[in-house]
Amino acid sequence: MDGISIAKNRTCKKIDPTNPTATGQNEIYVQLVLSLALGISAFFAFCFLRPRWKSLYAARKRQTESAKSLPELPDTFFGWMPVLYKVTEQQVLASAGLDAYVFLAFFKMSIKTFGVMFLITCAILAPINKKFDYLPTPGDSSDPRKPPELFSNNPVWGSWRIVEDTVVQAKDGKTALPDTDYLWAYLVFTYFFTGLALHFMTSETRRIIKVRQEYLGSQYTITDRTIKLSAIPPELRSKEKIKDFLEKLEIGKVESVTICCNWKWLDDMMDKRAHVIRKLEEAWTVHLGRRKTPVLDPAQSAHPGTSDENEETEGQENDTLLGESHVTAYEKPRPTTRIWYGFLSLQNRKVDAIDYYEEQLRKLDEKITMARKKSYTPTPLAFVTMDSIPACQMAVQALLDPSPMQLLAKLAPAPSDIVWSNTYLPRSSRMIRAWTITIFIIVLTIFWLIPVAGLAGLLDLCSIEEVWPGLAELLSRHDILRALVQTGLPTLVASLLNIAVPFLYDYLANMQGMISQGDVELSVVSKNFFFTFFNVFLVLTAFGAASKFWGELQDSLKDTTRLAYNLARAVKSLAVFYINFILLQGVGLLPFRLLEFGSVSLYPILRMGAKTPRDYAELVQPPVFKYGFYLPSAMLIYILCIVYSILPAGYMVLLFGLIYFVFGYYTYKYQLLYAMDQPQHATGKAWPMVCYRILVGLGVFQIVMAGVIALSNAFVPAGLVVPLIPFTLWYSYYFGRTYEPLMNFIALRSIRRDSNTSTNIAGESVESNLIDARLRRRQSTVDEEREKFSKFINPSLTVP
């Protein structure tokens, strides 16, 4: 081979590894075609169905009061797009609230960050990488850029991406070192991109804090004046004693106190009553016959002339359980149900269903009426409403009691957000649940290693050959089939895992016993990000295929520097996989989110099972937007863009990452404003979670860059990367001390004492808009509309 001999440690003889550059291009082209086919078909389907199925695609606009002020979207095929584009941040804030504003702010910040990085990468780093960091063909002397005898026995040698386990040696036994001067550019841009990411993150944090303080300080809701007082000692568990205790602190007057009691028996009866009501409604519906429900037919939304009639019909169905019309005559035999009784409920007979459920309902109503008059055992938790917002803020930002873990004051969740069945759970029970689920998630994390390691095996043809030689030989002869199996299939499986696993973690988070749905949602974000980051990225990248997994894991635990080298080596080798992953997520799957494929698929099934007007009314309710399902994947793609930004594949990763965040911004903007409801009330508290995970991504980026540079024996620039890691840790501490409190509390200076003053909640130019009275917001915020007439009372005590 003209002075160069090649030896292989594996028997991958049937697979030609000499030109993986072309193979990578084929894989990207195949993934691009598949993603475009999926994305374009889903997008066109959405554009076709949107004006014809307004009960789904405009559900929030039609049914939510805060969305009424949004501009109407034209019924033309593409006419909705410019109108959506022109919806301002002020309108997002006024219509959807702080949580939606913060969620979209992350996408907007990512667009700015990666837009700048992409331009810099194309202008400076791409030419550098093209000249110095490429994949040569062993024995190819035609490339003038390749110095002679440039190979070493290192599996991954510096800037040369040698195929793993291929050893190339010079004829005389000596090896020549490549030119590593260009790696100083890697060092410079590691610092520059770290600073750029921190700059955009800090600037966006300051802007969100300003908007949040202005927004919350200008409104006057019962939630803003209420504290959640926990760990109340037994001697203070009465309304009068709690009121006296707080007023003696001279921070303000107490308006009302709600002590959470053990209402389990009452709640259980209310749940049983809801079940009986549904059974009774179903029996009556069967007896009266199939109802006519024109409003629920998606096709009828396409006819403008029927909209007023549809709205009137909707109102009638919501006002009564059964309505007036029926199809069959009253002479139809009354429905029956089977009841079980006697010893061990072994005997049964059929009875009239309507009479039976009416009697059950009557008995339950009598029990509930009596139960509401009883006294229940108070728990160590209470909701205390103060007479002013400053008094509430002072209470939650101060230590109320000198005893540790006693009389702890925190901001209360919104009344509609409270999970009342968890308020009377003992603290020990909640802790046991939390630890049990944490341990279960750790076990799950270990379990996920099996499919993830198997997924990694598909990326390596040598691993495929060890398990299935025939398949490896077939793939080596067909480039397109190889691209589908080696990259298309793994990216699809990884994407499906990202879609399916959040449902499991959402269930687990709801079982933890948290007091509010907002806390549950933040917990889902945390759990799902842990899965995507640890299993889909870290394990897949650092440990590779199943055949090497346990050995690599043991070696990494013995020597942590090996983990850094493995991470750096694998990040470069998995570039094509992650390019295709981002491409599939952004171009192929985001249009399916816009299409609401799950709701569209389930609608015929739910429609066939619907019988009562209540069932039909629930069919047209806006789907719930869950931040925990969408935010973790976006944060993972943010980290991937940062990690690959300097490497040879950086320009492509940044390009497709930029496409993902642009498409994602407008997809989720449409859903949050027009299609889906977000009942959780976290007041933008997801932003600190986003920032901390960005900092985690920056730490991984710095470790990878230090490893990549060190693999070329350029230890001086590699060592100079290391100080960035403790700096990032320090900045995390600085962020927590400086910015996070302003994301949790309202500064006293921000509170408007005059609750009748109309105040602006604009996004980008708050100061100038405050001066301009013409741009001041409407009378009430979305939170004020949501919490109108709300009280901190268990609905089981008051619901009719």
Which residues are CB-neighbours of 403 under 8 A, at least 6 positions away?
none
**18, two tokens:** 């000499």
Where does CATH 3.30.70.330 sit in the chain?
Answer: 222-263+376-413
Q: Which residue has the higher pLDDT, 20 or 185?
A: 185
| Amino acid 133: pLDDT | 60
Looking at this protein, which amino acid is placed at residue 562? R
**221, two tokens:** 């809701």
Looking at this protein, which amino acid is placed at residue 705? M
pLDDT digits (tens, 9 = 90+) for 211-266: 999 999 888 889 999 999 999 999 999 999 999 999 999 999 999 999 999 999 99
Query: Lowest-pLDDT range, 196-210, 271-285, 528-542, 652-666?
Result: 528-542
Residue 782 in this model has a pLDDT that exceeds 60: yes
Mean pLDDT confidence for 300-316: 39
Separation of alpha carbons 163 and 573, rounded Å: 9
**115, two tokens:** 């837009």
| Amino acid 775: pLDDT | 35
Residue 199's pLDDT band, with cuts at 50, 70 and 90, is: very high
Mean pLDDT confidence for 318-332: 48
Mean pLDDT confidence for 355-371: 93
Q: Which CATH architecture has domain 222-263+376-413?
A: 2-Layer Sandwich (3.30)
| Amino acid 65: pLDDT | 78
User: Of 531, 536, 528, nearest to 506 (Cα)?
Assistant: 528
Residue 556's pLDDT band, with cuts at 50, 70 and 90, is: low
Specify burial of residue 370 (Cβ count, 10 A radius: 0-12, 13-18, 19+): exposed
Residue 433 in this model has a pLDDT that exceeds 80: yes
Q: Which residue has the higher pLDDT, 165 or 96?
A: 96
| DSSP codes of every residue in 368-411 | HHHHHTS---EEEEEEEEESSHHHHHHHHTS---SSTTSSEEEE
| Amino acid 272: pLDDT | 95
Mean pLDDT confidence for 155-165: 34
Query: Lowest-pLDDT range, 96-110, 537-551, 703-717?
Result: 537-551
Cα angle 239, 244, 245; round to 5: 100
| Amino acid 571: pLDDT | 85
| Mean pLDDT across the chain | 79
Query: Lowest-pLDDT range, 439-453, 576-590, 691-705, 767-781?
Result: 767-781
Q: Which residue has the higher pLDDT, 87 or 563?
A: 87
Residue 554 in this model has a pLDDT that exceeds 80: no
Q: Which residue has the higher pLDDT, 714 or 174?
A: 714
Separation of alpha carbons 380 and 497, rounded Å: 41
Asked if 760 contacts 194 with a C-beta cutoff of 8 angstroms, the reply is no
Separation of alpha carbons 316 and 552, rounded Å: 66
User: Of 453, 424, 665, 644, nearest to 543 (Cα)?
Assistant: 453
Asked if 583 contacts 649 with a C-beta cutoff of 8 angstroms, the reply is no
Q: Which residue has the tokens 């760990």?
A: 231
Separation of alpha carbons 641 and 578, rounded Å: 9
Q: Which residue has the tokens 């076709």?
A: 48
Spell 255-281 as b/e; 16+ CB within 10 A means b: ebbbbbbebeebbebbeebeebbebbb
Which residues are CB-neighbours of 695 under 8 A, at least 6 positions away?
728, 731, 732, 735
